[in-house]
Structure 1
Amino acid sequence: MSSPTTGSASAEAVAEAAFHVYLEQRQIRNAKVLVHYAAGLSALIGVFIISHWLHLLAIRLGWSRKPIFLPFVAIARVSRRTFIQSLPGFTSVGHAVLVTAYVALNVLFSFYNVDYSKATDLCARFGWMATGNMVLVVFLALKNTPLAIFTAYSYERLNVLHQTAGYTTLLYTILHAAIYTAYFFKEGMVYILRLDIVTAGIILGFALLFSVLAGMTLRHIKYELFYVIHVALFVVIVVTLGLHRPNFNPDRTLYATVIIGALWFADRLIRFCRLVYNSINNEANVYALPNGGTRIVLKKPLLRARPGKHCYVWLPRIRAFETHPFTIVANEPMELVINTYSGFTKALHKYALKNPGASLKVSVEGPYGTLPDPMDFDRVVLVAGGSGATFTFGMAADMLARMSENSKQRIDFIWAVKGHENLSWFTQHLQNLSNHVHAPKIALKLHLTRFAPSSSINRDDSIERRSTSVASADMKPSNLERGNDNFAISGPGSSAVTRYESDKDEKDMEAMRHQEIPSAATSTTMLPIVHGRPDTEAEIRAAVESLSNDQRVLIAACGPSSLTKIVRDIGASYIKVDGPAVEVHCEQFGW
């Protein structure tokens, strides 16, 4: 007979073996759930891919003009009318629906096939879901995302989803850590919290917490500092995630860690190689503009670049270890116009003031951005606020360059700017549009939202107040509202420069009086300017109502969120089953 001691030891061995079997089964179960979760996310992405390509095919093949497709067109338009509208707390109704679907998938797979008789089973599931969502976070952060090819969403439009996935990952991490910690204290197993793999998990949790907090605070205050912290903490997260679950079998979480690291490294490698290649024999000239603007003119064009898209710029003389995104205004030569905020843009503007026209070593990386092709539309309405004109000028110039002589397409160019001095940022581009061979096909509508008293105008400046004939009928003085003026717009290097000065800008303006900017106008350009905000709804309504039911209109806007919200809602309201096809595209400051 076996002794009681032997029997007790045997029972403990059996219990320990059973526990290991349970752990292995739990790992297998959780791994399968994570695969199903990935499949659910893939299906959700697939819906957007299929919808995007069906939409493109409908445009290219003219399905909306064929009666047989009318029921499908009606469904698509009603859906788009709903999804495009803005919604408080979200970019749009469509964004809210997508977030809801994402949350539903997380809830489903968090509680599906969980053994609730085991105190730690649900806790383990939360850890697995955190790992799965971390892969999604990195995927949505990729600059060179495949979604830009297969859908209409480039990385900057996915950033809001990247943030949502980040918050979800943090929530799962907190729940995973809190439940396990409470369990270990309750069972008198505090010593487990001192194990190396648990210590790595604790560091991982705090790194993720600080990364999210930095995104919620520093991102809007000191973006450059946030970026450095964000990248550094990401490296900590990847390393500690690998140390927290260091085995490939039976625990599959290390595979997710490898995928995370590989995705991030591959994206960085692609961007680095592009920067190196585009830096070869490349230089940029920088010029300060009135009211805090800076123009960069590059020696070499960027492959596949189109005005309206954006690229990352590296100027080692200003910031040796930083790249920053800016919209491409023109291709030949490649030109960027930048507003001054803080950090890099402030340092660049100061350098341009002290060294007008200086040549700097430069490289660019990109291009990025997914834009609808304006050539697919009969009429294009471009709405810009302030420096958002970098986007609309690019789209307008690109469209005019691709137009044929017998093209019947029309462009409405609406630009609202606070001060007259900002107009000189784009003097050459305004001249190019108004003097272009296809100029009669574009209606330039400029609005000054801030009127400065006459005493604030430099005595040497000239303000022409006379009627001038312009290329577009909409620009004739007789068609303008009462109170419109024809202002002479010219660059800082011309004889007639209109600008309003403030005490803050006095030194900058003094420096710019003595510099020449090649891309600025050398002769006066007469363009009528309306004082006050544009009636965006009336402009869009007129454009839509001018088209027949079998025609298409693109409404594209760039500027602050208040502007894009208005354009989004107005554009959505004109998407009708029995009207012309309406497409709405909004770019927004900051990402």
Structure 2
Amino acid sequence: MGSLSHSGPFGRSSSTQPWMVARLKVNGEILSYYAISLTALIAVFIVGHWTRRLVSNTSGSMFLYPIAALSRAIRKASLRKLPGFTSVGHAVLVAVFVALNALFSFYRVDYSQLSNLAARFGWMATGNFAFVVFLALKNTPLAVLTVYSYERLNGLHQIAGYTTLLYTILHGALYTYYFMHTGKTYILHEDVVTAGIISGFGMFFIVFVGMTLRRFKYELFYIIHLALFVVIVVTLGLHRPELEDEKTLKVTIIIAALWGFDRLVRLARLAYNSINNEAIVFPLPNGGTRIVLKKPMARARPGKHCYVWLPHIRALETHPFTIVAAEPMELVINTYSGFTRDLHQYARKNPGANLKASVEGPYGTFPDPMDYDKVVLVAGGAGATFTIGLAADMIRRLSPDSTKQIEFIWTTRIRENMAWFTQHLIHLIAHEYAPKINLKLHLTRANTTKTAAVASAPIPRSPSQISTAVESIPASVMEESIEIPRLSTQASSVALRERYLEKIYTMERADCIEEAALTVDGLSLPITYGRPDVAATVREAILSTSKDKKILIAACGPTAMLNIVRNTTASHIMVDGPSVELHCEGFGW
């Protein structure tokens, strides 16, 4: 937070003094070393990803056997769930990140003056801020070079953000103490210092808003987040405006350029995809909404997600949703609050309506199911938006002589939710390759009068039939939505809830043997009441696969379910077993 004014002790006159020149040089070098270290860390993941692909595609090679064995041993340990982290691997990554920051915070610091340590913290804050922005890029190069798209980097993005805030607080606090202790408090009133103070408070509030509003008022969080980011970048540039003296302003310019380029690319896609594009909106029972786009989107695949713009609902907002089908492009959306609530209410009042629309994306990285001999798809609740699209796309691409096997398990609370995907489920059981897919549907609640009403309602085949279909379903069913449980903000409460849910998912339930069927268009969908034994299903699928085969376990749903899938898969990765790939999609953004 040192001043760069011409007359101040940290301005141009002081920056030419030998001690200041030496400090600027050292701090610039340290920032470069930190950037190189982060690049090397990213390179490890890039090399690991492509090495695994090479080993997986040449599994019979004795030359690559040691590499495959080492890779499987590492994954067996790193994929397991660890309290407080997504997995052991994520915890190790965070530990390495923290260690790098600790190293470069204190390496080659002249402790003769407290201001030297304060300056180092400021440089580390700037470097981490650049890393935060890089991790937030929607069009990140890591999506091509690794298996990590921006949404899978969000955890590290948040941790890097907390780290940046910590450095910012230390930077400001130490400099303030130093100026007060040396009788130079007048420096705190200089313009460049004021800019730094504003930037620091902006950093504090952007983290605070992220911790408090993100999960409950996402639209408000996003607006505040965006506005504060602009304030931080501008004031950071004004805090260190001397381009020729140091690298801080250069880093700030890079930050602005990265963010601006990403925004321009997204805006260009949104504008292009809006040309002659419309969306037809259909209300679904239990608070669901189906959107069918008029135009296909380039590179769209079921399971990926895109940002949807419906100006009639919210003119200045785009929202991410999973792609269920690519041609025609279809999205199925659960109702929570804000945009999704307004969209569902509009669809109920105007079923089959055409709205001006555009999409931007697609985003998301996951393995191609066609590269595997056996695919196990596990979904809980609205997680079926991910797995049903994958199953339908895979069965469409199968050949008559294909030996691939598909295990599809979907657990939902009530039968009404199955109406969201009626056409896709019918497609799966009526397809000529239906024997290749083992479809398991589980309900955790018994049949109700509302369920019967939905099951007997006519299935609309065209927009002109939508109104009739909607009118035949009671309004109470259409209005009911799946509410987000209100959780305590305390981490202990969240942890207790996760452990409780995980226990429920692993319990053996006697009512799981009760079976029924949902009949639609003369086709019977087998339904089992009660939660499935997800761990047993995953375990059996892996153990029944020969060691020369490849198996993909893909899951989307509640955290408790994903933890079971993750731990079961990890425990059955064997050196002398099949090649096992795990992909987990979580709720939220």
Band the TM-score falls in, shorter-chain normalisation: 0.7 to 0.9
Question: How far is the alpha carbon of 1:86 from its aligned partner?
Answer: 0.8
AA in 1 matched with 2:17: H
Does residue 436 of the first structure (1) align with residue 461 of the second (2)?
A: no
Does residue 57 of the first structure (1) align with residue 49 of the second (2)?
A: no
1:79: which partner in 2?
Answer: 74
2:110: which partner in 1?
Answer: 115
CA RMSD in angstroms comes to 2.5
Counterpart-to-counterpart distance in 2, 1:494 and 1:346? 20
1:573: which partner in 2?
Answer: 571
Counterpart-to-counterpart distance in 1, 2:453 and 2:103? 70
1:284: which partner in 2?
Answer: 279
For the 8 Å contact 2:296–2:326, the answer to whether it is kept is yes
Counterpart-to-counterpart distance in 2, 1:581 and 1:303? 31
1:300-339 equivalences under 5 Å are 300-339=295-334
* SS of residue in 1 equivalent to 2:314: coil
Does residue 168 of the first structure (1) align with residue 166 of the second (2)?
A: no
C-alpha change, 1:414 and 1:116, in structure 2 (3 Å) is same
Does residue 22 of the first structure (1) align with residue 19 of the second (2)?
A: yes
Counterpart-to-counterpart distance in 1, 2:560 and 2:471? 26
1:352: which partner in 2?
Answer: 347
AA in 2 matched with 1:544: I
Counterpart-to-counterpart distance in 2, 1:554 and 1:146? 24
Counterpart-to-counterpart distance in 1, 2:453 and 2:386? 32
2:555: which partner in 1?
Answer: 557
Counterpart-to-counterpart distance in 2, 1:161 and 1:48? 14
**After superposition, what is the alpha-carbon deviation per residue over 1:216-268, rounded to whole angstroms, capped at 9, x for unaligned?**
01001100000000000000000000000001121210000000000000000
Counterpart-to-counterpart distance in 2, 1:142 and 1:460? 45
Of the three residues 394, 405, 410, the one matched with 1:410 is: 405
1:238-317 equivalences under 5 Å are 238-317=233-312
C-alpha change, 1:499 and 1:350, in structure 2 (3 Å) is closer
1:33: which partner in 2?
Answer: 30
**After superposition, what is the alpha-carbon deviation per residue over 1:361-380, rounded to whole angstroms, capped at 9, x for unaligned?**
00000000001111111100
* SS of residue in 2 equivalent to 1:120: helix
Question: How far is the alpha carbon of 1:402 from its aligned partner?
Answer: 1.8
* SS of residue in 2 equivalent to 1:54: helix
Name the larger-Rg structure. 1
Question: How far is the alpha carbon of 1:201 from its aligned partner?
Answer: 0.5
Does residue 185 of the first structure (1) align with residue 183 of the second (2)?
A: no
* SS of residue in 2 equivalent to 1:123: helix
Structure 1, unpaired ranges of 5+: 1-11, 464-487, 510-520
AA in 2 matched with 1:541: R
Question: How far is the alpha carbon of 1:155 from its aligned partner?
Answer: 0.4
Does residue 234 of the first structure (1) align with residue 232 of the second (2)?
A: no
* Percent of residue pairs identical: 60
For the 8 Å contact 1:283–1:361, the answer to whether it is kept is yes
For the 8 Å contact 2:243–2:249, the answer to whether it is kept is yes
AA in 1 matched with 2:270: L
Question: How far is the alpha carbon of 1:31 from its aligned partner?
Answer: 0.3
1:518: which partner in 2?
Answer: none
TM-score (normalised: structure 2): 0.88
* SS of residue in 2 equivalent to 1:553: strand
Of the three residues 214, 218, 243, the one matched with 2:213 is: 218
1:153: which partner in 2?
Answer: 148
TM-score (normalised: structure 1): 0.87
Counterpart-to-counterpart distance in 1, 2:284 and 2:318? 21
* SS of residue in 2 equivalent to 1:257: helix
For the 8 Å contact 1:130–1:173, the answer to whether it is kept is yes
* SS of residue in 1 equivalent to 2:289: strand
**After superposition, what is the alpha-carbon deviation per residue over 1:425-475, rounded to whole angstroms, capped at 9, x for unaligned?**
0000001111112111111100001224x5x34776768xxxxxxxxxxxx
Question: How far is the alpha carbon of 1:185 from its aligned partner?
Answer: 0.9
Q: Mean alpha-carbon deviation: is it higher for 263-272 or for 560-569? A: 560-569
For the 8 Å contact 1:421–1:499, the answer to whether it is kept is no
Of the three residues 384, 401, 408, the one matched with 2:396 is: 401
**After superposition, what is the alpha-carbon deviation per residue over 1:188-235, rounded to whole angstroms, capped at 9, x for unaligned?**
111100000000000000000000000001001100000000000000
Does residue 539 of the first structure (1) align with residue 537 of the second (2)?
A: yes
* SS of residue in 2 equivalent to 1:211: helix
For the 8 Å contact 2:305–2:320, the answer to whether it is kept is yes
AA in 1 matched with 2:379: A
Counterpart-to-counterpart distance in 2, 1:301 and 1:127? 47
Counterpart-to-counterpart distance in 2, 1:495 and 1:273? 36
**After superposition, what is the alpha-carbon deviation per residue over 1:124-166, rounded to whole angstroms, capped at 9, x for unaligned?**
0000000000000000000000000100000000011110100
Question: How far is the alpha carbon of 1:491 from its aligned partner?
Answer: 6.5
Counterpart-to-counterpart distance in 1, 2:532 and 2:401? 30
Counterpart-to-counterpart distance in 2, 1:376 and 1:498? 41
C-alpha change, 1:460 and 1:176, in structure 2 (3 Å) is closer
AA in 2 matched with 1:577: V
Counterpart-to-counterpart distance in 2, 1:288 and 1:230? 32
Question: How far is the alpha carbon of 1:71 from its aligned partner?
Answer: 2.0
C-alpha change, 1:499 and 1:74, in structure 2 (3 Å) is farther
* SS of residue in 2 equivalent to 1:360: strand
C-alpha change, 1:551 and 1:238, in structure 2 (3 Å) is same
Question: How far is the alpha carbon of 1:269 from its aligned partner?
Answer: 0.0
Q: Mean alpha-carbon deviation: is it higher for 19-28 or for 185-194? A: 19-28
Counterpart-to-counterpart distance in 2, 1:567 and 1:190? 58
Aligned residues between the structures = 538
Question: How far is the alpha carbon of 1:287 from its aligned partner?
Answer: 0.5
Does residue 101 of the first structure (1) align with residue 99 of the second (2)?
A: no
For the 8 Å contact 1:448–1:529, the answer to whether it is kept is yes
For the 8 Å contact 2:416–2:455, the answer to whether it is kept is no
For the 8 Å contact 1:82–1:572, the answer to whether it is kept is yes
Question: How far is the alpha carbon of 1:316 from its aligned partner?
Answer: 0.3
**After superposition, what is the alpha-carbon deviation per residue over 1:99-148, rounded to whole angstroms, capped at 9, x for unaligned?**
11111111111111111112211110000000000000000000000000
